[in-house]
Structure 1
């Protein structure tokens, strides 16, 4: 069984784990389309999410050249605008950058600060470099280093993205802990030899019975308490 003393560096997924990505996109759609009812907002949010997933899958299987999240999000915003009849260019552009204005979960900032007093902490996100810079500033997330999948020209769970984190950590992967609210993300890290910790979030991808992550926590605060206990 893994112990906190086995860990040298902690790596966090950001979208969904540290910030409420669906909630932020939902709020941006409501702001752009104030006359829309909740059912319409949810339909448009689903359209956005499906577009992003589809494009990232095409990149993963080699059927499409790499495109950053800024490019993918702009197309998603245009699709949402087209379906909703939104034509104001400024409103569409603001919608396209909604992923740079996502609120942290209630325990994210304090939990990250507590953990950073014990371990080097890295953020590892599918967000582009420019989007990640603005997102971290907006949400108030303070990392020792923030890494973008753009540097690997791939998206998690591609192994080369996790390689960015282990290279930055400068230690064997089994001494690097990946924290995420998405079981698919942790499986990708696990395949690279990293330790794994699942943190429950309302928007995450919960583990299956067959998953064998090193830690499972209901809150980030709970995980931090375990990792920083002496």
Structure 2
């Protein structure tokens, strides 16, 4: 395969660089110290389904845009306002995958890095600080007042980078995210994660990596 000619690397955050389910499980357990495993997974699934459903409603025009912080608080609807706030805060304290911090540092030695997330600006600040994520720029879908995979979100990265879309590489563990970037002309790299959305046989991404070390190697980063 011909070498990719790119000027910057754009990373999805939730699921790709941080383990979102693990962080939310920790928040649920802290709220209810002795929940059974089935109960924890049930609450996690309800949370995830709410976020996905409401983001889709925004994308479909069935609901005005609201930032991710508000969706988190809705999804944490357990009745007690303090408990809702505690669970919503857990969405800002997500652990990085074991290879994330070193992998970002390695790739940042050669390419500008842009974080591009559906998380709000406030949530990104907390996530970056808690997980030790290294960026040259972090962008939130909040700035486009919509959510990925709306083209307007990927266009934020293109505008900031100041280069044509094909000079950017979008990295994600979610095939749906990469398809959205691909539709705007970005190059794409799928990174396998346990909680991601794997590619289908019909997907054609530029790179497929087992992790960030593998991705760095494929990008020729020593």
TM-score, L = length of structure 1: 0.94
- Residues 161-198 of structure 1: CA distance to partner in whole angstroms, max 9, x if unpaired? 00001111111111100000000000000000000000
Runs of 5+ unmatched residues, structure 2: none
Across the aligned residues of Structure 1 and Structure 2, the Cα RMSD in angstroms comes to 1.1
**What is aligned with 1:3?**
3
1:211 aligned to which of 203, 208, 212: 203
Distance 2:116 2:200 in 1: 23
Bigger helix fraction: 1
Q: How does 1:78-117 map to 2 (within 5 A)?
A: 78=77, 81-82=78-79, 87=80, 89-117=81-109
Distance 1:121 1:129 in 2: 17
The answer to whether 1:35 aligns with 2:34 is: yes
How many residue pairs align between the two structures? 222
Distance 2:183 2:107 in 1: 24
Runs of 5+ unmatched residues, structure 1: none
Q: Contact 1:115–1:228 (CA<8 Å) still a contact in 2?
A: no
**What is aligned with 1:19?**
18
Q: Contact 2:93–2:130 (CA<8 Å) still a contact in 1?
A: yes
The answer to whether 1:73 aligns with 2:76 is: no
Report the Cα offset of residue 2 of structure 1.
4.7
Report the Cα offset of residue 35 of structure 1.
2.6
TM-score, L = length of structure 2: 0.97
The answer to whether 1:49 aligns with 2:48 is: yes
Q: Contact 2:8–2:111 (CA<8 Å) still a contact in 1?
A: yes
Distance 2:34 2:71 in 1: 26
Report the Cα offset of residue 132 of structure 1.
0.7
Distance 2:74 2:64 in 1: 15
Q: Hey, which bits of structure 1, 4+ residues long, moved more than 3 A? A: none
Report the Cα offset of residue 90 of structure 1.
2.7
